[in-house]
């Protein structure tokens, strides 16, 4: 069934601009940034774990794909209790991933190809193996060494109750008590705060030495030539004075508060582009964090080129997020509202409107993202038809399984909508291949601490972290030179391997490549945006004009016939063509010239 009257060119008339052109300024304003999760990207030494030489060997893939920059998740020296987000030495590479020389080679290779490199900075917590924490354990309560972390006496006459009632984001209490020692006070051993795993003690950002150390770490990597930093848990470093008790519940999606309902699917969630998660607790989004970013901004300004800071801050509403990217603070912040929005035309339009309103107000680019290493890949999320987005944290074999065909179809349509939005877009490795999560990983292979700390109640994030397939049917699908992969790949990865998609018309890889080429040629990222007026209230269609391109996403059930003569630039799926009409089927996005 096709919409009986095809659209005319007049129907595609643009309304007023909801976002004006940001112009082309610094590179990060409209960049497409590709996230490499090093342990799962490409394995250079055959041990089953990806590494920096692996990244270097695939730089041509990234160049060909057409991205502008690469963000690498942590590769620092680490016991890998949280896949490297537990850093033991901020100035060295973990032997699993290579050496500083390997890093320099990767950076030089990227720069030769015109690719920028952003590294991950993890300042909220260190590993318990960091020399500072080891010193703190060896030092007396009240010592300078202890003051670099969040040590407190316990409550109760014997100090055997935790200092407050906070829960860890990975499940269980956020406090761990030390073993007894002779110089303990009558309150006994102290406790230390860890918003994440016990192996990730929170640093004390009231301590000057902590500030100085991280500024020095920034300089270490800036001197090596990196183009920016993605700042982990950017909303968490400063805690409310007195660490007050709090009855809320933090969820796995950091900083997001569950208020007794499914924040993603709840139809009653606010229509303001937020996830509907509500307020933040005393461990997040405290005003004090902004002073830190102002100081870091000044450090970056001392360096040539447009170096940037990107906030990973799960705060709400978006107006709070905009505070992180005021002109003298960070440069970008991840905007997770597109990722958490249900597959619904009106909700997506709201997200876009609110995102532009709030970010334009502070002169920062809006960012867009659909997948990363902490959430179920959008192919799998959107394959859970009834919800539209599905759970964020992981799908277990015993959970309802996504429909792979529906998921890929919607994911491709969502991607073409996202890549047409002005601002900066983030891609997660493997999404250009249309990879789903591994949604049936056996418990024995899981490694995410959230799985263990919730006793399996949370499947955890391993499903989206499975090693990439480069050569379909080769050992490990070409992840490395052996068949070793630190997590098993699902069978479907063979057919989705990169080599099976290069040059193949209609493949997900070729769709991404074409869209990125057009995005660059048309300067979409730096363009203004207006809604197509006749469809601005449509319950089924998201349609907008950006640069010289009309973008039409059909989320409804009825195919939408395009104006005669419209030139299709790229489509997320096959179109319905009859003698005199071309129609956009359900769950399909097209970019047009009309
Ligand atoms: C956010 C990171 O993206 C996630 O992977 C990590 O577990 C937490 N922060 C803790 O560092």
Give DSSP secondary structure letters for 255-307.
T-B--SS-TTT-TTS-SSSS-S-----TTS--TTHHHHHHHHHHHHHTSSS--
Query: Which pLDDT band, with edges at 50, 70 and 90, does 339 fall under?
Result: very high
- Four-residue CA torsion sign, 511, 513, 515, 521: negative
> What does the pLDDT read at residue 387?
56
Q: What is the DSSP letter of 69?
A: E
pLDDT in tens, 374-384: 999 999 999 99
Instruction: Give the nearest ligand 1 atom to 195 CA.
Output: 10
How close is the Cα of 21 to the center of ligand 1, in Å? 33
Least confident of 122-126, 300-304, 383-387: 383-387
> What does the pLDDT read at residue 389?
63
Q: Which domains does the chain have, with CATH numbers?
A: 1-17+530-594 (2.60.40), 18-124+205-241+251-516 (3.20.20.80), 128-202 (3.90.400.10)
pLDDT in tens, 74-94: 999 999 999 999 999 999 999
For the cut 70, the answer to whether the pLDDT of residue 268 exceeds it is: no
Instruction: Give the nearest ligand 1 atom to 233 CA.
Output: 9
How close is the Cα of 85 to the center of ligand 1, in Å? 6
For the cut 80, the answer to whether the pLDDT of residue 520 exceeds it is: yes
Using CA atoms, how far apart are residues 286 and 294, in angstroms rounded to an integer?
Answer: 15
Q: What angle do CA 544, 547, 551 make, to 5 degrees?
A: 30
What's the mean per-residue pLDDT of the chain?
Answer: 92
Task: Give, to the nearest 10 degrees, the angle between helix 508-521 and helix 404-419.
Answer: 10
For the cut 60, the answer to whether the pLDDT of residue 407 exceeds it is: yes
How close is the Cα of 290 to the center of ligand 1, in Å? 20
pLDDT in tens, 129-171: 999 999 999 999 999 999 999 999 999 999 999 999 999 999 9
How close is the Cα of 548 to the center of ligand 1, in Å? 39
Q: What angle do CA 28, 120, 488 make, to 5 degrees?
A: 115
Using CA atoms, how far apart are residues 223 and 144, in angstroms rounded to an integer?
Answer: 29
How close is the Cα of 83 to the center of ligand 1, in Å? 9
Residue nearest to atom 6 of ligand 1 (CA): 85
> What does the pLDDT read at residue 279?
47
Average pLDDT of the residues in 231-247: 96
Which is catalytic among the residues 302, 491, 574, 580? 302
* pLDDT top residue among 564 and 101: 101
What predicted TM-score, i.e. pTM, was given to this entire model? 0.95
Which of 197, 233, 393, 428 maximizes ligand 1 atoms within 8 Å of its Cβ, making it the mutation to test the pocket? 233
For the cut 80, the answer to whether the pLDDT of residue 273 exceeds it is: no
Query: Which pLDDT band, with edges at 50, 70 and 90, does 191 fall under?
Result: very high
Which of 39, 232, 310 maximizes ligand 1 atoms within 8 Å of its Cβ, making it the mutation to test the pocket? 232
Using CA atoms, how far apart are residues 266 and 253, in angstroms rounded to an integer?
Answer: 16
For the cut 90, the answer to whether the pLDDT of residue 416 exceeds it is: yes
Average pLDDT of the residues in 222-245: 97
Residue nearest to atom 5 of ligand 1 (CA): 374
How close is the Cα of 461 to the center of ligand 1, in Å? 10
What lines the ligand 1 site, CB under 6 Å?
Answer: 82, 85, 122, 196, 232-233, 254, 312, 373-374
Which is catalytic among the residues 68, 202, 232, 448? 232
pLDDT in tens, 491-516: 999 999 999 999 999 999 999 999 99
* pLDDT top residue among 57 and 23: 57
Is 291 an annotated catalytic residue? no
Is 232 an annotated catalytic residue? yes
> What does the pLDDT read at residue 24?
62
Query: Which pLDDT band, with edges at 50, 70 and 90, does 6 fall under?
Result: confident
> What does the pLDDT read at residue 3?
53
Query: Which pLDDT band, with edges at 50, 70 and 90, does 579 fall under?
Result: confident
Residue nearest to atom 10 of ligand 1 (CA): 85
Average pLDDT of the residues in 542-550: 97
């Amino acid at each position: 069934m096709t919409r009986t009257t095809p659209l005319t060119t007049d129907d595609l008339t643009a309304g007023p601009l909801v976002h004006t052109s940001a112009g082309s300024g610094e590179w990060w304003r409209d960049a497409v940034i590709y996230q490499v999760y090093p342990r799962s990207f490409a394995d250079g030494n055959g041990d089953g774990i990806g590494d920096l030489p692996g990244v270097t060997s695939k730089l041509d893939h990234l160049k060909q794909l057409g991205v502008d920059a690469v963000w690498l998740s942590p590769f620092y020296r680490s016991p890998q209790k949280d896949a490297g987000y537990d850093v033991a030495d901020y100035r060295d590479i973990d032997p699993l991933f290579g050496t500083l020389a390997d890093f320099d080679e990767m950076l030089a290779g990227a720069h030769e190809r015109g690719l920028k490199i952003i590294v991950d900075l993890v300042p909220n917590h260190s590993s318990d193996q960091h020399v500072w924490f080891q010193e703190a354990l060896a030092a007396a309560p009240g010592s300078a060494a202890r003051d670099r972390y969040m040590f407190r006496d316990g409550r109760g006459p014997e100090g055997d109750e935790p200092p407050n009632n906070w829960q860890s984001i990975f499940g269980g209490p956020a406090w761990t008590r030390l073993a007894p020692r002779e110089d303990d006070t009558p309150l006994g051993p102290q406790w230390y705060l860890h918003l994440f795993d016990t192996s990730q003690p929170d640093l004390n950002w009231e301590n000057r030495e902590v500030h100085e150390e991280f500024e020095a770490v920034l300089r270490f990597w800036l001197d090596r030539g990196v183009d920016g930093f993605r700042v982990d848990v950017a909303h968490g470093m400063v805690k409310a004075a007195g660490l007050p008790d709090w009855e809320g519940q933090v969820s796995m999606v950091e900083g997001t508060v569950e208020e007794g309902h499914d924040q993603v699917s709840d139809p009653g969630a606010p229509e303001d582009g937020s996830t509907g998660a509500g307020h933040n607790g005393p461990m997040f989004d405290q005003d004090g964090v902004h002073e830190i970013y102002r100081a870091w901004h000044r450090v970056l300004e001392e360096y040539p080129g447009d170096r940037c800071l990107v906030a990973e801050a799960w705060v709400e509403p978006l107006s709070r997020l905009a505070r992180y990217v005021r002109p003298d603070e960070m440069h970008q912040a991840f905007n997770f509202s597109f990722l958490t929005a249900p597959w619904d035309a009106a909700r997506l339009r709201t997200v876009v409107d609110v995102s532009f309103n709030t970010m334009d107000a502070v002169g920062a680019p809006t960012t867009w993202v659909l997948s990363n290493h902490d959430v179920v890949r959008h192919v799998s999320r959107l394959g859970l038809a009834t919800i539209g987005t599905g759970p964020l944290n992981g799908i277990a074999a015993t959970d309802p399984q996504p429909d792979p065909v529906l998921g890929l179809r919607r994911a491709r349509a969502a991607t073409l909508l996202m890549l047409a939005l002005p601002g900066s877009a983030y891609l997660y490795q493997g999404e250009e291949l249309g990879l789903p999560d591994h949604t049936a990983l056996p418990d024995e292979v899981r490694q995410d601490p959230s799985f263990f700390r919730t006793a399996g109640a949370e499947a955890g994030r391993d499903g989206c972290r499975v090693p990439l397939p480069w050569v379909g049917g080769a050992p490990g699908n070409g992840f490395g030179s052996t068949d070793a992969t630190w997590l098993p790949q699902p069978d479907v990865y063979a057919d989705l391997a990169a080599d099976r998609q290069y040059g193949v018309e209609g493949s997900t890889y070729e769709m991404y490549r074409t869209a990125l080429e057009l995005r660059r040629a048309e300067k979409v990222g730096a363009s203004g945006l207006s809604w197509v007026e006749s469809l601005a209230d449509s319950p089924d269609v998201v349609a907008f004009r950006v640069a010289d391109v009309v973008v039409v996403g059909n989320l409804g059930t009825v195919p939408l016939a395009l104006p005669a003569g419209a030139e299709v630039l790229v489509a997320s799926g096959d179109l319905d063509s009859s003698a005199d009409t071309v129609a956009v089927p359900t769950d399909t996005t097209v970019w047009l010239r009309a």
